[in-house]
Amino acid sequence: MPLIDGLTSLWDRLLSAQPDPPPLLVLLTAAGALVVVATQVPWRIARNVVTIAHEGGHALAALLTGRKLHGIRLHSDTSGLTLSAGRPSGPGMILTLVAGYVAPSLVGLAGAGLLGGNRITLLLWVAVALLLAMLLLVRNVFGVLSLLVTGGVVLAVSWYASPQVQAAFAWTGVWFLLLGGVRPVFELQRMRSRGRMPESDADQLARLTPFPPLFWVGLFVLVNLLALVVGAALLAGPFVTASGLLG
């Protein structure tokens, strides 16, 4: 039947592995992502993607720990807010707060795992599905527009772009999440040291636990750097193989 054949073809396309990317693409996409993270204007624009992942982490942790999620707001200054209801203390609240700053790096690590298996199409479609799910939870106009634009770009690339463009887009995006997940933690501590973020996630965690804010900032850094190292090893697989370093 045409419908079944079409669904089978779509499923095969979704789960099929693409060829290894050229080693030069791995290096160039890493360099491109690093330039975006390290320079002010590109970072100011691209940071919205990190905010989406950050607030998505809060939201997912809230749902998984049984809290009632009221909604997400994304703002044009790249800040965000996730509102949930439940016990004001305890493991659920702590995990919800912890999830934000580590979410971009962990999403990047998951993406690196998929790219390590050359599942480029699967990665792009999973990204679209997650963005659509998050869209249902957003409660302000800028947040809706931000998700629609981001999801639309990913969908267009996954559907219309050539395999080479899809590979470049996917590797750049995952490198960006791995690298971009680290910078906000240092920005957090810099603003905390100036007294500009008294209600930061780290400060709220300090009030809920015996550990000071710097402990939580250090934990965020440690998790994100570990994700970067492991993710980079997964993404660099084609480069290492081509160099003959695996024997």
Model confidence over 186-237: pLDDT tens digits? 999 999 999 888 899 999 999 999 999 999 999 999 999 999 999 999 998 7
Which pTM was predicted? Answer: 0.91
The predicted pLDDT at position 57 comes to 97
The predicted pLDDT at position 185 comes to 97
8 occurs within a structural domain = no
- Looking at per-residue confidence, does 10 or 23 come out higher? 23
The predicted pLDDT at position 37 comes to 97
17 occurs within a structural domain = no
Q: Which residue shows structure tokens 């015996």?
A: 210
Residue 105's alpha-carbon distances to 100, 151, 155, 174, in angstroms, are 10, 19, 22, 9
SS3 of residue 83 by DSSP: strand
149 occurs within a structural domain = yes
| Listed residue (134, 123, 126, 168) closest to 54, CA to CA | 134
105 occurs within a structural domain = yes
Question: How many domains does one find in the chain?
Answer: 1
pLDDT-derived band at 19 (thresholds 50, 70, 90) equals confident
Phi-psi map region of 11: left, alpha, beta (phi>0 left; psi -120 to 50 alpha): alpha
169 CB burial (10 A radius; 0-12, 13-18, 19+):
buried
> Percent of the chain at pLDDT above 90?
81
**CB 46: neighbour CB atoms within 10 A?**
17
Instruction: Report whether pLDDT(241) > 60.
Output: no
The predicted pLDDT at position 246 comes to 46
5 occurs within a structural domain = no
6 occurs within a structural domain = no
Q: How far apart are CA 75 and CA 136, in angstroms?
A: 16
2 occurs within a structural domain = no
| Listed residue (211, 194, 207, 74) closest to 139, CA to CA | 74
Q: Using one digit for the tens of pLDDT, what is the confidence trace for 105-155?
A: 999 999 999 999 889 999 999 999 999 999 999 999 999 999 999 999 999
- What is the average pLDDT value for the chain, to the nearest integer? 91
Domain hosting 180: range is 22-240
33 CB burial (10 A radius; 0-12, 13-18, 19+):
buried
109 occurs within a structural domain = yes
